Amino acid sequence: MKRIILGLVLLCVFTTTQALAEIRPGSFTLTPQLSYFIFDNDADLNDDILPSLGFGYNYTKNWAVELVAGYTDTKNESSGNDADVLLYKADVLYHFLPDNTFVPYLAAGVGGITIDGDNDDTDLIANWGGGIKTFLTDQLALRGDVRHLAQFGSDTDHHLLVSLGLEMAFGGKEEKVYTGAPPKDTDGDGVYDFKDQCPNTPKGVAVNEVGCPLDSDGDGVADYLDKCPNTPQGVKVDAKGCPLDSDGDGIPDYQDKCPDTPKGVKVNSLGCPLDTDGDGVLDYLDKCPNTLPGVAVDENGCAIKETLLIEFDTNSSAIRASEKDDIEKAAAFVRKYPTIKIQVAGHTDSRGKDAYNQALSERRAASVRQALIDGYGVAPDKLEAKGYGEGYPIDTNNTAEGRQRNRRVELLLTTLPN
């Protein structure tokens, strides 16, 4: 019997055929087989035929797993009594040359063996070995292998298992195999024409497994054309692979909080037009771009104010009697906004030192405030006096007329009317 089994294995190895290997990734296999079980002498069992059935799965062309169970009814050598042997194991297989007619493989695994005879045992086993598959059709192969079995009981027994079976495959992914003339790679990208889905790729361009140019950021523009290769996923891009900037303000649409900014308008990091003086009117619409902080403005960004050209004596903050008309104009302005707090802002021309002019502007603003309180009954908490020195001229300081215009007091709304 040993000679018969070994002869069948050798026949499996050396038989020639024109069948093509078809180890399909994702396929299941069913393998009925006969094994000649050669027991360790210490096992006190007669060598015998062990029928078995294997159920496997090919993860890839190279790697597979298999569950195998077999049973034989042999005899104890010393007593001649019947002995039942049940073998079960889980193996991992690695296929070499999976696209050839003959597919050698290595196998190893673990399992158990149960012996019901003169000595009842259930022990852990480990096995290793190899074999070869000879394909008869694309899904049917004659299979032979040899395994060494180590049985771990009170002592370790070493057995030999010589097997011959017929492996049947089901399902799986059939890979296209080119069997005609030598395959071509017309565009030289390393992917043969029969697999190449982008057959006219320019020379030197990196491609994927189907021969198409790489698009690392997934924006639909191939890397070799992409001027913005790290675009975030899902962002719309132009023909160069760069995020769209519909309003042309330099901020891409996906970051732009103001996507309809007019052309040429300066924007901040969020794509919104600047409002440098913080008055709520955007710079490109603001007719008065340097409004004082906290001052209420009209739709053009200009302060809502009353300008009084009040003349004071040199180094004096006392209001002249001749300035009565300007003070009455100031009172009329205050009455116009009965619920609004008003700032009385004092200004000077540029003659004199900065510190002196600052103090003088504060004193003159305070004089006008007090005149409105004393002479017109304005509530003190409605008026705030503040001096700005020579810092905010409205005319040149090079002429007497210009300096006179700069020596002024302005009444400014500090909040908008209700």
What the block records as the tokens of 9 is: 């294995």
CATH tag, 305-413: 3.30.1330.60
Determine the angle formed by the axes of helices 324-336 and 354-376, rounding to 10 degrees. Answer: 70
pLDDT at 418: 41
pLDDT at 19: 45
Residues 6+ apart with CB under 8 A from 11: none
Assigned fold of 2-171: Porin (2.40.160)
Beta carbons within 10 angstroms of residue 103's beta carbon: 22
pLDDT at 10: 47
Cα 418 to Cα 410: distance, rounded to the nearest angstrom: 22
Cα 68 to Cα 53: distance, rounded to the nearest angstrom: 6
Cα 388 to Cα 318: distance, rounded to the nearest angstrom: 18
The b/e string for 151-178 (b: 16+ C-beta within 10 A; e otherwise) is bebeeebebbbbbbbebebeebeeeeee
- The angle formed by the CA atoms of residues 156, 132 and 56, to the nearest 5 degrees, is 75
pLDDT by position in tens, the chain (length 418) = 444 444 444 444 444 444 456 688 999 999 999 999 999 998 999 999 999 999 999 999 999 999 999 999 999 999 999 999 999 999 999 999 888 889 999 999 999 999 998 888 899 999 999 999 999 988 899 999 999 999 998 889 999 999 999 999 998 876 655 556 678 888 998 898 888 999 989 999 999 999 999 998 989 899 899 999 889 988 999 989 999 988 989 899 898 999 888 998 999 999 999 988 888 899 889 998 888 777 888 889 888 877 777 777 667 788 888 888 888 988 998 988 888 889 999 999 999 999 999 999 999 999 999 999 999 999 999 999 999 999 999 999 999 899 988 888 888 887 544 4
H-run or E-run covering 37: strand 27-38
Cα 345 to Cα 342: distance, rounded to the nearest angstrom: 9
SS3 content of the chain, % helix, strand, coil (to 5): 20, 35, 50
pLDDT at 36: 96
Domain boundaries, the chain: 2-171, 305-413
Cα 352 to Cα 361: distance, rounded to the nearest angstrom: 12
pLDDT at 13: 46
**By the 8 A CB rule, do 281 and 274 touch?**
no
DSSP 8-state symbol, 382: G
Residue reference for tokens 């086993």:
125
Residue reference for tokens 């810092």:
391
